[in-house]
């Protein structure tokens, strides 16, 4: 069972890497048109960070969908813990 899961996950990651990489290349080409303005105003690092986070979220989502399509249940992450405020 664990062996099959690892095999499926590897295949899903490979597929997701290809799809997400292609989408990332397209987005990078679109953003390159406006890169000069961002560099001039010192905003390039923000956009690069946002691009990287978006790529990672897209990749994770693609892997999760692929694994679900293969019959695996999604990983449970539990509720988001809110910080306790003390005023």
Express each pLDDT in 51-72 by its tens digit: 888 889 999 999 999 999 999 9
Q: How many domains does the chain have?
A: 1
Tens digit of pLDDT for each residue in 7-62? 999 999 999 999 999 999 998 888 888 777 666 666 677 778 888 888 899 999 99
User: Residue 55 falls within a domain, yes or no?
Assistant: yes
User: Which pTM value belongs to this model?
Assistant: 0.72
Alpha-carbon distance of 25 to 62, in angstroms, equals 16
The domain in which residue 13 lies consists of 2-69
User: Residue 40 falls within a domain, yes or no?
Assistant: yes
User: Which of 74, 57, 58 is CA-nearest to residue 9?
Assistant: 74
- What confidence score (pLDDT) does residue 13 get? 95
């Amino acid at each position: 069972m664990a062996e099959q899961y690892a095999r499926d996950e590897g295949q899903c990651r490979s597929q997701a890497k290809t799809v997400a990489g292609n989408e990332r290349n397209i987005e990078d080409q679109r953003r390159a048109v406006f890169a000069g303005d961002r560099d001039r105003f010192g905003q390039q690092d923000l956009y690069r960070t946002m691009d990287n986070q978006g790529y990672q979220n897209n990749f994770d989502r693609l892997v999760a969908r692929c694994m679900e399509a293969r019959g695996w249940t999604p990983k449970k992450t539990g509720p988001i813990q809110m910080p306790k405020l003390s005023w």
